[in-house]
């Protein structure tokens, strides 16, 4: 068995003067405190990457800075899927006996540490250097292409997509650490500045500073146990030009494998933590994972299905769209919130039942997928 024994999350937004290492350290200390573990008890470190401070050995840079001499350490890079990929690896490291307590950590001063142009340019390099990048695409454009096709095949509208931005903002309003606290409407999303049509500014996640961390352990350290019941990955392509048909994308493959690994079905799930870099990402993933029928996710948002009081509470912290996106730590916030919900510590955001959670991360342009089931054990 593997347990998530501690979680840590900073507020997202502006952390003027904080470096990536500062934000990683802050989140890591919170996770250790939450787990009730000391530095000397951590024998594995997995960390994400920082676009602001790239380094060929970030895990050992962090280990030295934070004051840990682990027996296992390295960085992991799978874009937005990195947080869950690290969690999956930590799960295997502790269940196979390689490590006892693995610290998974990421943090980045992505908002204040560099210019917006520098970031957009850095991220656009996920495109093919010869066949895509010369055309001047951006990450929103890659997802904009996916969006027009998805809307065409399944009759989804721009208003439908806007519903996801409105929901994530409503959830963020209840979390003091979220980057945005002003409620928005579908009309606000529709009227926001065009970025890469059909995606407009409020269809896109912001850029944030922030950090997140967890400890994955062989044995539980507290009373309430959250264990990793099963997880799986799928990688079908890197570049959107080489992506398979919408019906053959990796989310469907990874969730099928994860269901088999966990021995669970979608009907067992009580809480959903799903990657939401853009509104289209969230709409597609919900439908790919089976949390809504094809083209029906927006209707489920309107009916309250994914709300705090609904049958399937979704990203109750506000997701990347409104809690914020600081790189690898961005999607790790989804797991932190799931953990708080599962252990009854989500305060005013607490849902009735989060006994089994489904988490899903996506990297690249729907290129890399990780699906994971968490289960609360007493």
Partner 1 sequence: MSERLADWTKGEQAITFQTCGACGHVQYFHRAFCAACGAADPRARRASGRGRVYATSLVCRAATPETRALVPYNILLVDCPEGFRMMAHGENGLAIGDTVTASFKPFAGKLVPFFTKEA
Query: According to CB under 8 A, which one of 44, 113, 144, 324 is a site residue for partner 1?
Result: 144
Question: Candidates 23-31, 125-133, 221-229, 267-275 — which segment interacts with partner 1 by CB under 8 A?
Answer: 125-133
Q: How far is the CB of 189 from partner 1 (least distance, A)?
A: 15
Question: Candidates 94-102, 116-124, 179-187, 296-304 — which segment interacts with partner 1 by CB under 8 A?
Answer: 116-124
Q: How far is the CB of 148 from partner 1 (least distance, A)?
A: 5
Q: How far is the CB of 182 from partner 1 (least distance, A)?
A: 21
Query: According to CB under 8 A, which one of 77, 96, 121, 159 is a site residue for partner 1?
Result: 121
- If one asks whether residue 157 binds partner 1 (CB under 8 A), the answer comes out as no
3-class DSSP string for 54-111:
CCCCHHHHHHHHHCCCCCEEEECCECECHHHHHHHHHHHHHHCCCCCEEEEEEEEECC
- Report how far residue 213's alpha carbon sits from residue 263's, in angstroms, rounded to the nearest whole number: 27
- If one asks whether residue 85 binds partner 1 (CB under 8 A), the answer comes out as no
- Report how far residue 274's alpha carbon sits from residue 319's, in angstroms, rounded to the nearest whole number: 8
- If one asks whether residue 128 binds partner 1 (CB under 8 A), the answer comes out as yes
The per-residue DSSP string of 261-310 comes to HHT--GGG--EEEE--SBHHHHHHHHHHHTSS-TT-HHHHHHTTTTSTTS
> Up-side HSE of residue 247: CA atoms within 13 Å toward CB?
2
- If one asks whether residue 266 binds partner 1 (CB under 8 A), the answer comes out as no
- Report how far residue 11's alpha carbon sits from residue 131's, in angstroms, rounded to the nearest whole number: 39
Query: According to CB under 8 A, which one of 39, 53, 95, 145 is a site residue for partner 1?
Result: 145
Query: According to CB under 8 A, which one of 47, 141, 333, 370 is a site residue for partner 1?
Result: 141
- If one asks whether residue 148 binds partner 1 (CB under 8 A), the answer comes out as yes
- Residues in CB range of 265: below 8 A, 6 or more apart: 259
- If one asks whether residue 152 binds partner 1 (CB under 8 A), the answer comes out as yes
Of 109, 82, 79, 95, give the one whose Cα is nearest residue 44.
Answer: 95
Backbone CA torsion sign across 364, 366, 367, 370: positive
- If one asks whether residue 57 binds partner 1 (CB under 8 A), the answer comes out as no
Question: Candidates 28-36, 82-90, 113-121, 217-225 — which segment interacts with partner 1 by CB under 8 A?
Answer: 113-121
- If one asks whether residue 37 binds partner 1 (CB under 8 A), the answer comes out as no
Query: According to CB under 8 A, which one of 31, 73, 146, 354 is a site residue for partner 1?
Result: 146
Query: According to CB under 8 A, which one of 40, 136, 182, 378 is a site residue for partner 1?
Result: 136
Give 104 or 195: the residue with its C-beta nearer to partner 1: 195
Residue 199 backbone dihedrals phi, psi, to 5 degrees: -90, 130
- If one asks whether residue 191 binds partner 1 (CB under 8 A), the answer comes out as no
How many binding residues for partner 1 (CB under 8 A)? 34
* Tokens (6 digits) for 261: 């690994």
- If one asks whether residue 13 binds partner 1 (CB under 8 A), the answer comes out as no
Residues 228-247 close enough to bind partner 1 by CB under 8 A: 239-242
Of 231, 213, 224, give the one whose Cα is nearest residue 374.
Answer: 231
Of 192, 196, 220, 206, give the one whose Cα is nearest residue 142.
Answer: 196
**b (16+ CB within 10 A) / e for 113-126:** bbeeeebeeebbeb
Q: How far is the CB of 115 from partner 1 (least distance, A)?
A: 11
- If one asks whether residue 332 binds partner 1 (CB under 8 A), the answer comes out as no
Residues at the contact surface with partner 1, assessed by CB under 8 A: 117, 120-121, 124, 128, 130-132, 134-138, 140-142, 144-149, 152, 193-199, 239-242
């Amino acid at each position: 068995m593997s347990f998530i024994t501690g979680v840590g999350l900073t507020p997202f937004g502006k952390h003027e003067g904080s470096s990536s290492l500062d934000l990683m350290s802050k989140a890591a200390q919170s996770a250790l405190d939450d787990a009730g573990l000391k530095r000397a008890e951590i024998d594995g470190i997995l960390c994400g990457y920082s676009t602001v401070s790239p380094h060929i050995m970030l895990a050992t840079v962090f280990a030295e800075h934070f004051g840990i001499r682990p027996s296992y350490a390295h960085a992991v890079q799978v874009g937005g899927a990195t947080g869950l990929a690290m969690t999956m690896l930590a799960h295997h490291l502790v269940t196979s006996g390689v490590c006892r307590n693995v610290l998974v950590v990421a943090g980045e001063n992505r908002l204040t540490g560099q210019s917006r142009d520098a970031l957009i340019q850095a991220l656009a390099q996920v495109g093919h250097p010869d066949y895509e990048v010369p055309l001047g695409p951006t990450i929103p454009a890659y997802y904009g292409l996916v969006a027009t096709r998805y809307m065409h095949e399944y009759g989804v509208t721009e208003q439908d997509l806007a519903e996801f931005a409105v929901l994530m903002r409503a959830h963020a309003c209840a979390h003091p650490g979220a980057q945005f606290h002003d409620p928005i409407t579908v009309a606000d999303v529709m009227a926001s500045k065009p970025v890469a049509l059909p995606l407009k500014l409020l269809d896109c996640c912001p850029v944030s500073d922030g950090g997140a961390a967890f400890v994955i352990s062989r044995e539980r350290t507290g009373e309430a146990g959250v264990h990793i019941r099963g997880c799986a990955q799928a990688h079908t392509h890197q570049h959107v030009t080489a992506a398979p048909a919408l019906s053959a994308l990796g989310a469907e493959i990874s969730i099928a494998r994860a269901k088999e690994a966990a021995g669970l079905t979608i009907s067992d799930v009580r809480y959903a933590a799903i990657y939401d870099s853009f509104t289209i990402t969230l709409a597609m993933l919900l439908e790919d994972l089976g949390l809504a029928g094809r083209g029906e996710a927006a209707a489920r948002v309107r009916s309250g299905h994914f709300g705090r009081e609904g049958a399937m509470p979704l990203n109750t912290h506000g997701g990347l769209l409104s809690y914020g996106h600081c790189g690898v730590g961005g999607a790790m916030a989804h797991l932190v919130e799931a953990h708080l919900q599962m252990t009854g510590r989500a305060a005013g955001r607490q849902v009735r039942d989060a006994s089994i959670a489904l988490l899903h991360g996506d990297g690249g342009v729907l290129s890399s997928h990780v699906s994971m089931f968490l289960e609360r054990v007493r």
